[in-house]
């Protein structure tokens, strides 16, 4: 069985990669991802300039996942662009992803111009969970704003790009979002980002587990699996086939990854598990996914991608 997969013209020798924000803040962390069994990597979502992010504790592991309100700490776009330019010279066979999350549409467009004018030859992931006008929902939940951002972006941006989406829960939202996304030359849609604004409590102290936002933070891990499966499936059913899916959320073992691929994913990102287990998780996930494929008689990802059956 082999786990090679592709998005557009980009070939990957393994379907697994990190989720943005997990073990991808510094050059050393990115190098460790590059040396792991993962097929590729994505950088921490960048803003124009370096950000320290929120006060700690801002991440906590949970029995069934994790909660975080990191606050977009990152080294700034130039740092990650420099890393990517060096990386593509040293590893031309391994395309990587650069993640971008401006705090405003203007910042997103400015960063897109910088990337467009660079020699970066990988893929760009625009994080639509980025904030919007204060008091309005995040961009991904503001359909008019999403339409506006993507229209302005693709007026000039020609490099391969996709969007990272928050989870949706209403079928009308899938319809509306897919109608918007189908208008643009996107190479991929990555579903899902963490489940927004959960809250968990320390039983010893009756205190919220994380400090920022009164303890509110994005939920990842096993809690996210059924929502991730539904979002990948819903967009796979609605998007132009030219737009491929990246599945993110709830991957703890090979079967979870297999399920995201059944739902339609061409790449599988790992967040909470990678944070907790380290990059050796990719070795275990690869072994476990191969085992599931063997049991089912599949030799390649393309044999079963999107082949979820439903009861008739």
Ligand X SMILES: CC(C)(C)CCc1c(C(=O)O)[nH]c(=O)[nH]c1=O
Give the footprint of ligand X on this chain (CB under 6 A): 21, 45, 68-72, 101, 127, 129-131, 193-194, 218
Least separation, in Å, of the C-beta of 107 and ligand X? Answer: 12
The helix (H) or strand (E) run that includes residue 283 is helix 281-296
E strands in the chain: 5-7, 10-12, 16-18, 59-62, 65-68, 97-100, 123-127, 161-165, 188-191, 195-199, 201-202, 207-208, 216-220, 244-248, 265-270
CB 185 within 8 Å of CB 149: no
- Say which of 42, 84, 101, 130 is annotated catalytic: 130
Whole-angstrom distance, CA of residue 237 vs CA of residue 56: 40
Strand-strand pairing, 207-208 and 201-202: antiparallel
Q: Is 130 among the catalytic positions?
A: yes
The helix (H) or strand (E) run that includes residue 180 is helix 171-181
**CA nearest neighbour of 122 among 91, 144, 148, 166:** 91
Q: What is the DSSP letter of 46?
A: B
Whole-angstrom distance, CA of residue 145 vs CA of residue 153: 12
Least separation, in Å, of the C-beta of 193 and ligand X? Answer: 5
**CA nearest neighbour of 15 among 235, 208, 256, 219:** 256
Closest to ligand X by CB, 101 vs 285, is: 101
Question: Number of C-alpha atoms within 13 angstroms, CB side, residue 168?
Answer: 24
Closest to ligand X by CB, 66 vs 244, is: 66
Closest to ligand X by CB, 10 vs 25, is: 25
Give me the residues paired with residue 65 across strands: 62
Q: What is the DSSP letter of 212?
A: G
Least separation, in Å, of the C-beta of 20 and ligand X? Answer: 7
Closest to ligand X by CB, 98 vs 292, is: 98
Least separation, in Å, of the C-beta of 66 and ligand X? Answer: 9
Least separation, in Å, of the C-beta of 268 and ligand X? Answer: 17
Closest to ligand X by CB, 21 vs 65, is: 21
Least separation, in Å, of the C-beta of 190 and ligand X? Answer: 11
Closest to ligand X by CB, 52 vs 311, is: 52
| Catalytically annotated residues | 130
């Amino acid at each position: 069985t082999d786990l090679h997969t592709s998005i557009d013209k980009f070939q990957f020798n393994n379907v697994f990669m990190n989720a943005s924000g997990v073990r991808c803040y510094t050059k050393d962390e990115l190098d460790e991802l590059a040396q792991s069994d993962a097929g590729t990597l994505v950088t921490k979502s960048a803003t124009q300039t370096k950000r320290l992010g929120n006060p700690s504790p801002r991440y906590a592991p949970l029995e069934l996942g994790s909660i975080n309100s990191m606050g977009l700490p990152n080294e700034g776009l130039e740092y990650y662009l420099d890393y990517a330019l060096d990386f593509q010279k040293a590893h031309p066979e391994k395309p990587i992803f650069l993640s971008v999350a401006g705090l405003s549409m203007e910042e997103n467009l400015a960063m897109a111009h910088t990337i467009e004018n660079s020699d970066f030859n990988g893929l760009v992931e625009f994080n639509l969970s980025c904030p919007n006008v204060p008091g309005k929902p995040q961009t991904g939940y503001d359909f008019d704003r999403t339409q506006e951002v993507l229209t302005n972006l693709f007026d000039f941006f020609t490099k391969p790009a996709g969007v990272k989406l928050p989870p949706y829960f209403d079928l009308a939202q899938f319809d509306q979002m897919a109608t918007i996304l189908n208008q643009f030359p996107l190479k991929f849609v990555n579903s899902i980002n963490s489940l927004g604004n959960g809250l968990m409590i320390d039983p010893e102290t009756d205190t919220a587990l994380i400090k920022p936002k009164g303890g509110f933070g994005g939920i990842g891990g096993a809690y996210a699996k059924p929502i991730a499966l539904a979002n990948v499936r819903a967009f796979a059913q609605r998007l132009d086939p030219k737009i491929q899916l990246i599945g993110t959320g709830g991957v703890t073992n090979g079967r979870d990854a297999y399920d995201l691929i059944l739902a339609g994913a061409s790449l599988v990102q790992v967040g909470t598990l990678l944070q907790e287990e380290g990059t050796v998780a990719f070795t275990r996930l690869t072994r476990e996914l191969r085992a599931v494929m063997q049991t089912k008689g599949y030799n390649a990802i393309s044999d079963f991608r999107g082949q979820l059956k439903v009861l008739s």
